[in-house]
Structure 1
């Protein structure tokens, strides 16, 4: 990219920058597109025989009383859908307006019940269960947004899908989760729920799930629920072990989202700079520096120039459109990068925010000064390209003087040493106690008979694997062989009485 416009002619248009996470998601979605939902499929065209289909296994319930209510709910759901315009169940579902209601969909059907003189208080629970059955039977496929919003009770949906759609698939996925090392039961439950949501939205079985389906669901959940998603890596890994996602699918989610090294444009566009001309200048500057820098240094340079310098200037001075900055603008910027807010607790227990010095603010000053000096030097060699951007550096050479900084750093190190020196004997004693106890446990394990239950050594000063049981009011806790129980931290339960 070659810069030909002058600062005075720069147009203030927002750069086409996106947040790094969003960029990664978009690139990954382009590489692995999700399955599209067709307008028609055999299940959604079964208007005449839908009620008969849902009254037979595997859509029936074992309990006779529950099945009676379930059939009544299915009739209500089908009657409600038939009142909507459309030729298929899917068209009627979309025309009903229930998708727009999201998680608050129940009033839509409740209003329909009231209009027909039907009491909704006891009918709505059976309607919700019946709607899950209709989805499991693939009469309709709700959107991922509607499902991600929690419109369907996910536990009920999992049971329905596991019972009627893909019993073998859900059973095998559950077994893979139980066999995986270091996996919490909650992570397996989350995996089953997400798999059921994809089946509800896309159709098919677990084996049909693609990488794009996974990415679409995770991205939609993050946007709709407005919180960070947990268990995503385990969700992807279990599906990969299951054999879904396709033969060419990466082994883990990190590989799916990996973008590799970003270009200078992508590095600068992370910060969404408004002034297009300055944005292009920073990109061009990074391109000039790129051959002599490793990627981490280039990324750090883009951070200091793009975020700490120009994004901060634009945020506080939206009219800034060039590198020649007023002295008050420069002074305010230096003050902002020199300090940061820190939350501290006062002696009376109140939490308050105070200004503290930012220890690495000189790194930004150094990069900004080098940026201005480089442009001035390059303008001598190529005035048409760099000349319009030559401006006095906002950072003076004396501001980067290093001796005072080194003295302050040495003072902080000495202060930390003085603070920690009095507790050094306590640290040494604690480490030695743990070492001796670990050695005793290791020796006991070596001498133990595998066929017998052998006691573990009990230390008066350190017994991390013992939890003492004592009656209330029996005095201070003591670690004795009679009162100690071996505690299994994997199950949070005692594995048996002590010796």
Structure 2
């Protein structure tokens, strides 16, 4: 007003933008301009299409056209560039903006941009076999730079997880053009070409199976520790509130103690309410106790709402005061419901508010009310759709610099991580356990089905379009398999003698263990069955059930040489009976040595699988009547 004249009502959005982008503007000036913009916007001075805030103006530029999305990748072939733009424009009405942006990246960058980079001059969708094969090979892997312990950086190739999605997008691109060429040949006909990707290459069965196993393992690790996390979140909130209350109760400039910690309050405060929010601890460090209490509260509220509802994080941030509605049952009873705005599947749904959830929502509403008792209506920027939503009384909001703002998704995640760090919960390997907001959704569905909720009801509550998606979220073993296995075991027990299932006495158990201890020999182990005695009078070298260890071959060779010396001595002395007995032992020792050598040769020799003979082959023929017969190689009909 001092520079250009005029009054307050003459200020337009451009005036504030010019002041915000001035080269001499500092942080304090920027904060003041943004606050002034918020006040003037609340007065209704700006047009309806004015942005909700001047914060993050560079990151919140709104939606751009398909042509602008494609031109980010600077394609050299103008006809193909125009084709991709026309294709995205044709599909735009049926796609959300987030997927449209991703699709433009897959087609313009990962597909055609890669082809132009490695095959200069390419200008046709009709790709040679070697060109498409090379592109698929490059798409399957990515180069990652990793830093070693010695500080050196190496480049390694890793499989690319998003390969199937890109292949499906390119295959759909070719299929759509082929279909549209039949309907509008003058527009799409010249672009129809053979599809370089077959259906089998787009299979994601193995990828889905691995993802399912990984998700189930995450859920099984986090479900048992959820009560501990809830207790820690509640404790952190109470402790943070106790410290902040102690700060507010202490005189300015004084020293106070809260929960065993000593703090010094500031000598003065510039806040309108006169209550400080920061203090110095015993080490002289500044502690923002107000921010600590706010983050602890929203971490507690996030955990409680997510675990009681199973909603997505974007749905959590869009909860408003209008989301809480009531419904009258036919019996006349009124029940509270939570209305979830359409998000991923564009399906609106209603959730029953439990007493525990009602307490959390009541605490949130009480916290965000303004001086008039109403929840402020604030605009919210949708990062996925790149649009500003109409002002709503959002529940997840807080005041920053006299301005009510939505709580950012990153702030919610950071608050959750702070609670996890304070809990000290670790996984099986001893590493800190990490919770993502989506983990609470999987835990909610798993716990609900585990406690008897029908899967089709869980599907409605979760807002899934397919029940298979809901079952994919569950990390439980199917009850049918468990019951069938238990019935099988019961039937098998009924068929066996009852005395086999009697309780074993301690003496019998010790005898059973001692049997295996007595089987250990110098040359290996005795293979006789439990409950049987040695029938060879412990002549182990002669015994056919002796299991000789490969490592004991030198000992067995030594026994053989000793037997030969004893036989020679007995022959010199004329002990013919001794010669006969020792000769039997010598023959048994030599046989066992030959068995060991044969085992060693088999381990070292390659395994020959053999070649099938023609007589082992069979062919399947189908006659004109539709019947099938299996004919062997000799021409004999085996079956029909």
TM-score (norm 1): 0.41
Ranked by relative contact order (alpha carbons within 8 Å, sequence separation 6 or more), the top structure is: 1
Higher helix fraction (1 or 2): 1
TM-score (norm 2): 0.33
User: Which structure has the larger Rg?
Assistant: 2
Higher strand fraction (1 or 2): 2
